[in-house]
Amino acid sequence: MEKNAILDYTMVPSGLLTMVVYHVWLLHRVTKHPGTTVMGLNAVNRKIWVKAMMDDVPKNGILAVQTLRNNIMASTLLASTAIMLCSLIGIMMTNGSQNHSLFFVYGDKSSLGFSIKFFSILVCFLISFLSNVQSIRYFSHASVLINVPYRKVFRPTEDLERVTSEYVSRTVNKGSYFWSLGLRAIYFSFPLVLWIFGPIPMIFSCFAMVILLYFLDVNFECGSVRVGVPGDGDEELAREETE
Protein backbone atom coordinates (compact mmCIF):
# COMPACT_ATOMS: atom_id res chain seq x y z
CA MET A 1 0.00 0.00 0.00
CA GLU A 2 1.32 3.44 -0.94
CA LYS A 3 1.97 5.83 1.90
CA ASN A 4 -0.21 8.52 0.31
CA ALA A 5 -3.05 6.04 -0.18
CA ILE A 6 -3.53 5.91 3.60
CA LEU A 7 -5.01 9.40 3.37
CA ASP A 8 -7.87 8.02 1.26
CA TYR A 9 -8.70 5.44 3.93
CA THR A 10 -8.85 8.03 6.71
CA MET A 11 -9.96 11.37 5.26
CA VAL A 12 -12.54 10.15 2.76
CA PRO A 13 -14.64 8.14 5.28
CA SER A 14 -14.41 11.05 7.72
CA GLY A 15 -15.72 13.51 5.14
CA LEU A 16 -18.53 11.22 4.00
CA LEU A 17 -19.48 10.48 7.61
CA THR A 18 -19.75 14.21 8.27
CA MET A 19 -22.16 14.61 5.36
CA VAL A 20 -24.23 11.59 6.40
CA VAL A 21 -24.46 12.65 10.06
CA TYR A 22 -25.58 16.14 9.05
CA HIS A 23 -28.38 14.78 6.85
CA VAL A 24 -29.51 12.34 9.54
CA TRP A 25 -29.73 15.30 11.91
CA LEU A 26 -31.61 17.30 9.26
CA LEU A 27 -34.08 14.46 8.73
CA HIS A 28 -34.73 14.35 12.46
CA ARG A 29 -35.39 18.11 12.56
CA VAL A 30 -37.70 17.97 9.54
CA THR A 31 -39.81 15.15 11.01
CA LYS A 32 -39.84 16.23 14.66
CA HIS A 33 -39.48 20.03 14.49
CA PRO A 34 -40.43 21.10 10.94
CA GLY A 35 -40.69 24.77 11.86
CA THR A 36 -36.95 24.94 12.52
CA THR A 37 -36.12 23.91 8.94
CA VAL A 38 -36.82 25.51 5.59
CA MET A 39 -37.91 22.16 4.17
CA GLY A 40 -40.46 21.66 6.94
CA LEU A 41 -41.95 25.14 6.58
CA ASN A 42 -42.19 24.70 2.82
CA ALA A 43 -44.12 21.46 3.34
CA VAL A 44 -46.61 23.26 5.60
CA ASN A 45 -47.06 26.09 3.12
CA ARG A 46 -47.53 23.68 0.22
CA LYS A 47 -50.31 22.00 2.19
CA ILE A 48 -52.04 25.33 2.75
CA TRP A 49 -51.55 26.28 -0.92
CA VAL A 50 -53.15 23.06 -2.18
CA LYS A 51 -56.17 23.57 0.06
CA ALA A 52 -56.55 27.17 -1.15
CA MET A 53 -56.32 26.07 -4.80
CA MET A 54 -58.89 23.27 -4.39
CA ASP A 55 -61.37 25.40 -2.46
CA ASP A 56 -62.07 27.40 -5.65
CA VAL A 57 -61.08 25.21 -8.61
CA PRO A 58 -62.69 27.32 -11.41
CA LYS A 59 -60.82 30.41 -10.23
CA ASN A 60 -57.46 28.88 -9.24
CA GLY A 61 -57.18 25.90 -11.58
CA ILE A 62 -54.96 27.56 -14.18
CA LEU A 63 -52.67 29.05 -11.53
CA ALA A 64 -52.29 25.67 -9.84
CA VAL A 65 -51.44 23.85 -13.08
CA GLN A 66 -48.94 26.53 -14.12
CA THR A 67 -47.21 26.34 -10.74
CA LEU A 68 -46.92 22.55 -10.91
CA ARG A 69 -45.73 22.81 -14.51
CA ASN A 70 -42.88 25.05 -13.35
CA ASN A 71 -41.93 22.38 -10.81
CA ILE A 72 -42.03 19.72 -13.52
CA MET A 73 -39.73 21.84 -15.71
CA ALA A 74 -37.26 22.24 -12.82
CA SER A 75 -37.25 18.48 -12.21
CA THR A 76 -36.86 17.80 -15.93
CA LEU A 77 -33.86 20.11 -16.12
CA LEU A 78 -32.13 18.37 -13.20
CA ALA A 79 -32.98 14.91 -14.55
CA SER A 80 -31.59 15.79 -17.99
CA THR A 81 -28.42 17.25 -16.46
CA ALA A 82 -27.94 14.20 -14.23
CA ILE A 83 -28.31 11.65 -17.04
CA MET A 84 -25.96 13.69 -19.25
CA LEU A 85 -23.35 13.70 -16.50
CA CYS A 86 -23.87 9.95 -16.04
CA SER A 87 -22.96 9.46 -19.69
CA LEU A 88 -19.89 11.66 -19.28
CA ILE A 89 -18.73 9.74 -16.20
CA GLY A 90 -19.30 6.47 -18.04
CA ILE A 91 -17.04 7.63 -20.85
CA MET A 92 -14.37 8.71 -18.36
CA MET A 93 -14.55 5.32 -16.62
CA THR A 94 -14.10 3.56 -19.95
CA ASN A 95 -11.27 5.69 -21.35
CA GLY A 96 -9.86 7.41 -18.31
CA SER A 97 -7.63 4.57 -17.14
CA GLN A 98 -4.99 5.68 -19.62
CA ASN A 99 -5.20 9.37 -18.69
CA HIS A 100 -4.65 9.30 -14.94
CA SER A 101 -1.43 11.22 -15.41
CA LEU A 102 -3.50 14.24 -16.45
CA PHE A 103 -4.74 14.62 -12.85
CA PHE A 104 -2.60 16.06 -10.09
CA VAL A 105 -3.43 13.63 -7.31
CA TYR A 106 -2.05 13.46 -3.78
CA GLY A 107 -3.32 10.11 -2.60
CA ASP A 108 -4.30 6.83 -4.17
CA LYS A 109 -3.26 6.83 -7.85
CA SER A 110 -4.14 3.24 -8.71
CA SER A 111 -6.55 2.32 -11.49
CA LEU A 112 -8.84 0.70 -8.93
CA GLY A 113 -8.88 3.89 -6.89
CA PHE A 114 -9.88 5.97 -9.90
CA SER A 115 -12.58 3.45 -10.82
CA ILE A 116 -14.05 3.70 -7.32
CA LYS A 117 -14.03 7.50 -7.50
CA PHE A 118 -15.78 7.61 -10.87
CA PHE A 119 -18.28 4.95 -9.81
CA SER A 120 -19.16 6.90 -6.66
CA ILE A 121 -19.85 10.02 -8.72
CA LEU A 122 -21.89 7.95 -11.16
CA VAL A 123 -24.05 6.59 -8.33
CA CYS A 124 -24.81 10.13 -7.12
CA PHE A 125 -25.93 11.25 -10.57
CA LEU A 126 -28.03 8.10 -11.06
CA ILE A 127 -29.78 8.71 -7.74
CA SER A 128 -30.38 12.31 -8.78
CA PHE A 129 -31.84 11.21 -12.11
CA LEU A 130 -34.17 8.62 -10.58
CA SER A 131 -35.30 11.00 -7.83
CA ASN A 132 -36.16 13.72 -10.32
CA VAL A 133 -38.05 11.23 -12.48
CA GLN A 134 -40.15 10.32 -9.44
CA SER A 135 -40.63 14.02 -8.75
CA ILE A 136 -41.98 14.52 -12.27
CA ARG A 137 -44.32 11.57 -11.71
CA TYR A 138 -45.83 13.01 -8.53
CA PHE A 139 -46.15 16.54 -9.90
CA SER A 140 -47.87 15.18 -13.01
CA HIS A 141 -50.41 13.32 -10.88
CA ALA A 142 -50.95 16.39 -8.72
CA SER A 143 -51.60 18.62 -11.75
CA VAL A 144 -54.70 16.51 -12.49
CA LEU A 145 -55.83 15.88 -8.93
CA ILE A 146 -55.63 19.51 -7.87
CA ASN A 147 -58.39 20.43 -10.34
CA VAL A 148 -60.89 17.89 -8.99
CA PRO A 149 -63.89 19.79 -7.50
CA TYR A 150 -64.36 17.24 -4.74
CA ARG A 151 -66.71 19.41 -2.67
CA LYS A 152 -69.19 19.51 -5.56
CA VAL A 153 -68.85 15.94 -6.76
CA PHE A 154 -68.94 14.02 -3.47
CA ARG A 155 -71.32 14.20 -0.55
CA PRO A 156 -69.78 15.28 2.75
CA THR A 157 -70.55 11.88 4.28
CA GLU A 158 -68.49 9.96 1.72
CA ASP A 159 -64.88 8.99 2.14
CA LEU A 160 -62.91 11.70 0.30
CA GLU A 161 -59.44 10.39 1.16
CA ARG A 162 -58.59 9.68 -2.47
CA VAL A 163 -59.32 13.16 -3.78
CA THR A 164 -59.27 15.54 -0.83
CA SER A 165 -56.76 18.33 -0.43
CA GLU A 166 -55.00 16.17 2.17
CA TYR A 167 -54.18 13.51 -0.42
CA VAL A 168 -53.22 16.04 -3.09
CA SER A 169 -50.98 17.95 -0.68
CA ARG A 170 -49.20 14.71 0.22
CA THR A 171 -48.68 14.05 -3.48
CA VAL A 172 -47.25 17.53 -4.04
CA ASN A 173 -44.99 17.19 -0.99
CA LYS A 174 -43.72 13.80 -2.19
CA GLY A 175 -42.77 15.38 -5.50
CA SER A 176 -40.93 18.14 -3.66
CA TYR A 177 -39.16 15.67 -1.38
CA PHE A 178 -37.91 13.66 -4.35
CA TRP A 179 -36.76 16.88 -6.01
CA SER A 180 -34.84 17.78 -2.83
CA LEU A 181 -33.33 14.28 -2.73
CA GLY A 182 -32.15 14.62 -6.32
CA LEU A 183 -30.60 17.99 -5.53
CA ARG A 184 -28.89 16.55 -2.43
CA ALA A 185 -27.39 13.81 -4.57
CA ILE A 186 -25.83 16.47 -6.78
CA TYR A 187 -24.51 18.22 -3.67
CA PHE A 188 -22.94 14.93 -2.59
CA SER A 189 -21.22 14.64 -5.96
CA PHE A 190 -19.19 17.84 -5.44
CA PRO A 191 -16.84 16.39 -2.78
CA LEU A 192 -16.59 13.17 -4.80
CA VAL A 193 -15.50 15.12 -7.87
CA LEU A 194 -12.80 16.81 -5.81
CA TRP A 195 -11.79 13.37 -4.53
CA ILE A 196 -10.37 12.75 -8.01
CA PHE A 197 -7.68 15.27 -7.10
CA GLY A 198 -7.03 13.74 -3.71
CA PRO A 199 -8.58 13.22 -0.26
CA ILE A 200 -7.44 16.59 1.13
CA PRO A 201 -9.62 18.80 -1.12
CA MET A 202 -12.39 16.24 -0.72
CA ILE A 203 -12.57 16.41 3.08
CA PHE A 204 -12.35 20.21 3.11
CA SER A 205 -15.17 20.40 0.57
CA CYS A 206 -17.28 18.12 2.82
CA PHE A 207 -16.83 20.46 5.77
CA ALA A 208 -17.56 23.52 3.61
CA MET A 209 -20.64 21.83 2.13
CA VAL A 210 -22.06 21.00 5.57
CA ILE A 211 -21.58 24.60 6.76
CA LEU A 212 -23.22 25.98 3.62
CA LEU A 213 -26.14 23.56 3.78
CA TYR A 214 -26.70 24.36 7.44
CA PHE A 215 -27.36 28.01 6.64
CA LEU A 216 -29.57 26.99 3.70
CA ASP A 217 -31.61 24.40 5.61
CA VAL A 218 -32.13 25.89 9.06
CA ASN A 219 -34.85 28.44 9.68
CA PHE A 220 -33.54 31.10 12.05
CA GLU A 221 -36.71 33.20 12.18
CA CYS A 222 -39.56 30.93 13.30
CA GLY A 223 -40.03 28.30 15.94
CA SER A 224 -41.26 24.78 15.36
CA VAL A 225 -44.53 24.64 13.43
CA ARG A 226 -47.18 21.95 13.80
CA VAL A 227 -48.23 20.62 10.43
CA GLY A 228 -51.92 21.20 9.89
CA VAL A 229 -54.34 23.30 7.90
CA PRO A 230 -56.76 25.50 9.83
CA GLY A 231 -60.38 24.63 9.26
CA ASP A 232 -59.66 21.15 7.91
CA GLY A 233 -59.96 19.16 11.08
CA ASP A 234 -56.27 19.27 11.88
CA GLU A 235 -54.32 21.23 14.41
CA GLU A 236 -53.97 24.87 13.58
CA LEU A 237 -50.56 26.22 12.87
CA ALA A 238 -48.96 27.02 16.18
CA ARG A 239 -45.65 28.43 17.11
CA GLU A 240 -43.71 26.38 19.64
CA GLU A 241 -40.68 27.34 21.58
CA THR A 242 -37.55 26.66 19.59
CA GLU A 243 -35.30 24.19 21.28
For residue 238, what pLDDT is reported? 38
pLDDT at 239: 43
Residues 6+ apart with CB under 8 A from 161: 167
Amino acid 236: pLDDT: 41
Domain range annotation of the chain: 22-217
Residue 127: the pLDDT is: 94
User: Which residues in the chain come in under a pLDDT of 70?
Assistant: 1-5, 95-109, 150-163, 222-243
Look at residue 36 in the predicted model and tell me its pLDDT. Answer: 87
Please report the pLDDT score of residue 140 as a whole number.
93
pLDDT at res. 182: 94
> So what's the pLDDT on residue 23?
94
Q: What is the pLDDT of residue 241?
A: 37
Q: Tell me what pLDDT residue 139 has.
A: 94
Angle between the N-to-C axes of helices 38-55 and 57-95, in degrees from 0 to 180, rounded to the nearest 10: 140
The maximal CA–CA distance of the chain, rounded, in angstroms, is 74
Q: How far apart are CA 33 and CA 141, in angstroms?
A: 28
The Cα-based distances of 57 to 49, 165, 234 in angstroms read: 12, 12, 22
Q: Are 165 and 118 in contact (CB under 8 A)?
A: no
Question: Which burial class, exposed, middle or buried, applies to 87 when counting CB atoms under 10 A from its CB (0-12, 13-18, 19+)?
Answer: exposed
